[in-house]
Amino acid sequence: MGMTVAPDQIERIVWNQHQNPFEVLGPHQVEQEGKKIWVVRAYLPRASEAWVVFPEERTEFPMTSVHHPHFFECVLDTPEIKNYQLRVKEGDRSYVSYDPYAFRSPHITDLDIHLFAEGNHHRIYEKLGAHLSEVEGVKGVYFAVWAPNARNVSLLGDFNHWDGREHQMRRLGNGIWELFIPGLEVGTSYKYEVKNQAGHIYEKSDPYGYSQEVRPKTASIVADLDRYTWNDSEWMEKRRHTEPLTKPISVYEVHLGSWLHGAASEPGLDSKGNPVPPVIVADLKPGARFLTYRELADRLIPYAKELGFTHLELLPIAEHPFDGSWGYQVTGYYACTSRHGSPEDFMYFVDQCHANDIGVIVDWVPGHFPKDGHGLANFDGTALYEHADPRKGEHKEWGTLVFNYGRNEVRNFLVANALFWFDKYHIDGIRVDAVASMLYLDYLRPTGEWVPNQYGGRENIEAADFLRQMNHVLFGYFPGALSIAEESTTWPMVSWPTYMGGLGFNLKWSMGWMHDMLDYFHMDPWFRQFHQNNVTFSIMYAFSENFMLALSHDEVVHGKSPMIGKMPGDEWQKFANLRALYTYMFAHPGKKTLFMSMEFGQWTEWNVWGDLDWHLLQFEPHQKLKYFISRLNELYKSQPALYTQDFSADGFEWIDCSDNRHSVVAFLRRAKDDVSEYVITVCNFTPQPHAHYRVGVPELGFYTELFNSDSREYGGSNMGNLGGKWAEEWSYHNCPYSIDLCLPPLGVIMLKLDRSKVMPGLAAKEVSDPGEL
């Protein structure tokens, strides 16, 4: 019998130049001499012999080489072919496997391709990437990748000796390549071999891969994200029906890789109690290993709970090759870093957070990505995920590339990625990194090295549209979630809803407040009288956005000094200044974020290669500062006036902000829907205490001293007001009544009217409107 396929078709397969190998390989029904027969073809680059095996009939038929020593075919006179296998001999080794090219129906539908092409496939991560599948009763893994400008794409792995000739993929519409490989399981390492039009080869990790090897290795790993049993249904349901902006939000920002390390000689355990190979930190810290997600759940969560934080914010945990990037140069957007364990281990960590009433926020980096050869850069031999023009597609100062937000498929990749972390890992929020770098075309670019938008402006309209789409879709799927922008400019309406023209975030970091307050507290207290506006100016714009007050990792690196080191004075004054800053922060409108180490006053900057300076907690000042933070969080969560109306001017009133000579400010915070629920805060930002300092109040009665940052139990001088003060009929600060206070040095006090107490010998007087000062 003659050849059943043209020689040029064989050559295209052999030289890996065929975009649809299913046209040649696998089972085909052909007609010869007026009779329909079946022919099975296979290209087996290392085989010397091969057979077609029918396991149910227990028969096998030899294949013959055709035109090429490794191109085999077998002609079968049978009415149908199903469930056949190939027995292959390679030298002294032989094996039996199902033929990938016998499974001819693509898993990706025309609708999937259409939605992806228009940028609206919100669960594209369930179609692209590597997915456990069962086809015609045969289990295996289905692979799909987007590479529209590639000449060919193949799969690489231990299953084919990393030989791209063996598992050549089929091109579908819009440049999607796919192949089902039977017999593969969870834990299989793989890459894509992508050839450009000139035949140059790029070995790429899977952009949609769920797991990756521990650096410095870069292969993706097949993972099953649906086999973990979640126990947080009550938490998730409650979140769906909660408006987070009216709840207390106090965030502990953590870099998992440097919060605490373990000893390499004492490996962690997996979910089955088996030892986990240690992931060594770096040569800079010999003998140290990263803690696993499960170990972090056992250590970090109780610590954060003891301190009273409501949320953990994790610096990026998506896969990244370089530890020193802190996670902000991501190569695996859909893979949690394997430094700390498996995807299931991270799910356990989130689950345990929810069991302890702690939400999880993840730093997300859609603004740029690194140039590493295995990553997204030049993915199919062209600028696919990035702009081709470096004036738009490169951050030279960071050495990274910028996403092409105008390309539908790229935008889909990012929007779906945000949803993915909420969907698969049950996270509660994202903090979007470096939003300003996305919004401005001239960000960190000299004149002449950036391209204006179509209107001649510097605004990146495509990036703004992407952010609106991402937030609109996110809140549609996950009401009650948090989307926080790290945005450092005056771009308007960042935290306004998209239907009002905003970018759609529900919180924005207040970079202005942070800079003003750190500048202010860095000064010698004597000079603060000339800079009262540093304290007061934030209220001028406090309600233009939904602000989060953040003292983040960026403020304790690169020579900026740790928080305690920024404070002036001797050791006592440094701690007192820090307590005053933190208390003012928690009294000020806005949600709160503190970076790890700030809670106990670390004397050194954050070092990504080392542990926090935990040994400091053997010393009383550091112990007391940590206790202070726990009590401050406790107070914050117990007083609705401090959190229910953060973003409305109705929730804040100055009592007096003009006493710059003494560096004193006093203000009132009101609860939502209850004007009688309020907390008065008085701040003394100098080391000079003030006796008989009068402050106006709206009502008569006894004002309990809720909190005093100068308390002895926090390391202060213990000056205060003996538990509280009675108001007097002495109008002051445009208020009908006032109280005579003792203001402690470098101290902040909070007071609240105790309505259960009646002034001795005098009936408490009513005011017509207790909401007016």
Catalytic residues: 433, 486
Q: For residue 620, how many other CB atoms are within 10 A of its CB?
A: 9
Report CA 765 to chain centroid distance, whole Å: 53
Is residue 656 within 8 A of residue 741, CB to CB? The reply is: no
Sequence-distant (≥ 6) Cβ neighbours of residue 555 within 8 angstroms: 514, 518, 563, 595
Across 57-169, the runs of DSSP E, i.e. the strands, are 59-62, 64-66, 68-76, 85-90, 93-98, 129-135, 138-146, 152-157
Is residue 441 classed exposed, middle or buried when 0-12, 13-18 and 19+ CB atoms within 10 A define those classes?
A: buried
Helix (H/G/I), strand (E/B), else coil: 640: helix
Q: For residue 516, how many other CB atoms are within 10 A of its CB?
A: 18
Nearest to 245 by CA among 594, 48, 484: 484
Q: For residue 619, how many other CB atoms are within 10 A of its CB?
A: 11
Token duo for residue 385: 């995920």
Amino acid at 269: L
Task: State the DSSP code for 745.
Answer: T
In order, the DSSP letters of 338-389 are: GGG--HHHHHHHHHHHHHTT-EEEEEE--S-B---TTSSTTTTSS-SSB-SS
In order, the DSSP letters of 545-603 are: TTEEEEE-GGGGSTTS--HHHHS-SSHHHHHHHHHHHHHHHHHSSSEEEEETTTTTT-S
Dist. CA 304–CA 297, nearest whole Å: 10
Dist. CA 735–CA 102, nearest whole Å: 84
Dist. CA 739–CA 724, nearest whole Å: 10
Furthest CA-CA distance within the chain: 119
Cis omega before residue 216 (within 30°)? yes
DSSP percent split of the chain into helix, strand, coil, nearest 5: 25, 30, 45
Query: Which residues on adjacent β-strands are paired with residue 252?
Result: 312, 594
Q: Which residue has the tokens 């307590």?
A: 579
Q: Which residue has the tokens 């983040």?
A: 552
Sequence-distant (≥ 6) Cβ neighbours of residue 292 within 8 angstroms: 268, 269, 270, 276, 340, 341, 345
